[in-house]
Structure 1
């Protein structure tokens, strides 16, 4: 009886471990905006971070739609070796006003990066696609960049689902840049300040920190599973 109970406990522990790992894995594989926040009205540089989730296929194209309901007047791309960036613009229903009183009648609405030669994102790898943009709108608290990720086996993953506060994260959340109120007296709304801050803004998070957190979680879960198996073995010897 004790042996049966022990086996059930061990199986439950293993199932719980597998469930947590399965739930945690997708969180590391979304297409995201790095960093995820910027100041309203300012200029910034961000990276669209694209991981390859497939075990067998490589990523060959990324299409990103910029919101036209909250357009950004100035958008530029950073060259990515081996990739070609194509920028599309859309005529604005309501022109944007510049500080000089000029009107901007069109804005970037889509950017498509296409891999050439051997510049694919292979399984287990990621690529940053960096853009500079501003001034950021002041009438919204976020910018949603809906994205399509195309693999060389023809599969297309649509990162277009918008997250809702208080609700579970969707399976394919759209990359989102959260906009915060600008600090009083700050210089984040000046292009010069943005150019100086760009390297820090697009800096990759420490790989050692990410690895440590990931390994820590996995270590705890493996420890739980190991303990359960140890208890099972002890029960068998005693039984």
Structure 2
């Protein structure tokens, strides 16, 4: 009787550890504020991207999201697409060195975009995407770091502003990064599937759907791997319990 109880106890503990491992790894891998698609925006072109904001708290909802744009590579055009239940504010700043875009000098650029809940929230276990049309993307950079600040309705503020360094572990609160690929011939970036009409008006192409599908496929694959890891950990725990029970009965 004691052997049976010992086995069940060990199996339950192993299963709990496996489930906790999957949840912990999933949260670490997928809970960050990010920019989608990643690595598909062409240098020197335009792109429509989504700022993806997951809610990481079980007892609070996200009510405000702020995305800041780099000053070393300012963007002359940043246009948010309306999101139902959220009001948006675009803040501009004067440039020390004017930009030249389509033969015109631009003396100011967008410094940040802020979304504030207006009848909607990002609740526990949910995420929200905020579409942006960006351009003209720099030709002399491989990525844009878009530092974000997430505010919850319990007044907690999470700053996604830490820059990742090559060869170093990922920081606790990494900043969203838009990676830039080689320039295309027509200087048009990839369009995210937020709204085809909005992308067309902004002068973008219609290849974003493929990129988003690839990103989703990558995420699904990672989730499956984590699930398999959890199952293997659980089976290992059960096997350990069986062996321990046999040794005691012997």
Change in CA separation of 1:140 and 1:207 when aligned onto 2, cut-off 3 Å: closer
Give how far 1:215 is off. 4.1
List alignment gaps of at least 5 residues for structure 2. Answer: 191-198
Change in CA separation of 1:31 and 1:93 when aligned onto 2, cut-off 3 Å: same
Aligned: 1:57 with 2:60 = yes
Q: Deviations over 1:21-58 (max 9, x none)?
A: 53442211000000012111000000000000001100
Aligned residues: 231
- Per the alignment, residue 30 of structure 2 pairs with 28
Asked whether the equivalents of residues 26 and 223 of structure 2 are also in contact (C-alpha less than 8 Å), the reply is no
Give how far 1:222 is off. 2.5
Aligned: 1:137 with 2:146 = no
Separation in 1, partners of 2:243, 2:189: 65
Q: 2:234 aligned to 217, 225, 229, which one?
A: 225
- Per the alignment, residue 171 of structure 1 pairs with 172
Give how far 1:13 is off. 9.9
Aligned-residue Cα RMSD (Å) equals: 3.2
Q: Runs in 1 of length 4+ with deviation above 3 angstroms?
A: 9-21, 189-194, 201-213
Asked whether the equivalents of residues 76 and 135 of structure 2 are also in contact (C-alpha less than 8 Å), the reply is yes
Tell me the TM-score normalised to structure 1 length: 0.83
Asked whether the equivalents of residues 99 and 107 of structure 2 are also in contact (C-alpha less than 8 Å), the reply is yes
Separation in 1, partners of 2:112, 2:211: 20
Query: What secondary structure sits across from 1:221 in the alignment?
Result: helix
Change in CA separation of 1:180 and 1:52 when aligned onto 2, cut-off 3 Å: same
- Per the alignment, residue 188 of structure 2 pairs with 188
Query: What secondary structure sits across from 1:197 in the alignment?
Result: coil
Correspondence 1:119-134 to 2 at 5 A? 119-134=120-135
List alignment gaps of at least 5 residues for structure 1. Answer: none
Correspondence 1:12-51 to 2 at 5 A? 18=20, 22-37=24-39, 38-51=41-54
Change in CA separation of 1:66 and 1:124 when aligned onto 2, cut-off 3 Å: same
- Per the alignment, residue 99 of structure 1 pairs with 102
Asked whether the equivalents of residues 21 and 230 of structure 2 are also in contact (C-alpha less than 8 Å), the reply is no
Separation in 2, partners of 1:159, 1:148: 6
Asked whether the equivalents of residues 65 and 109 of structure 1 are also in contact (C-alpha less than 8 Å), the reply is yes
Give how far 1:223 is off. 3.0
